[in-house]
Amino acid sequence: MKKEVLIILHPDFEEIEAVTPIDILRRAGLIVHIASTSNDLEVQSKGGIQIKADSLLSDHEHAIYDALVIPGGPEIFKIRDHSMIQKKIREFHKLEKCIACICAAPLLLLDQGLNQTFAMTCHPSVQAEFPALHPEATVRDKHIITSKGAGTAVPFALAIIKTKQEVQIERLSRFQVRVMNKTNRAMKFNFSEAVKLSLRAISRIFNINLRSVFIIS
């Protein structure tokens, strides 16, 4: 199953910080949904470039994807109180889904208090708002990714791809001990039951249906 990413476009977004992740993520085989924060699909960037979003952000109110990406730009200050964006950040964080913010967009994470738990960086123009910042240009701390700006858009996008792979591995590690314990207990009674337990766990972790390959009752 292909991973899906939601990229939020707001008025006066920094075009390099949006287009670069869109291009790289799609080249990597991810499904990218581009959502506009306004009531219009046409969104104008900081440089005056019009980009047509796939949908409105309001269309994704109840949708949860594998990653949330927010580019920066001078209008970030105007969307800091955007209720839908705040809701999405809280939802993705609760589920430990990747949240990637670049340039001034890490301010949206600061407003949710996430800087108290995760290492972050941001554009120099807004760094005064952060009590502490990581010195690297692109910072990945578990499922939270932040980056300085347009000049770091490529490593920012690559970090999103890398995070998706590592989160899967981390999720597998969390279940490994429990799966092994269950498997060991089951093997004392029935080997086939032990195999079923392992397959069910793998199916849950990676959201795949193994019924087409194995018979799992």
Task: Report helix, strand or coil for 52.
Answer: strand
CA 47 to chain centre: 26
Amino acid at 180: M
Distances (CA, A) of 21 to 33, 153, 160, 174: 12, 7, 9, 29
For the chain, the helix, strand and coil percentages under 3-state DSSP, each to the nearest 5: 50, 15, 35
Residues 6+ apart with CB under 8 A from 42: 36, 50, 51, 52, 53
Helix axis angle for 153-187 and 15-27, nearest 10°, is 40
As given in the structure block, the two tokens for residue 177 are 């001990």
Dist CA 133 CA 110 (whole Å): 11
- Coil, strand or helix: which one is 139? strand
The residues that are catalytic are: 103
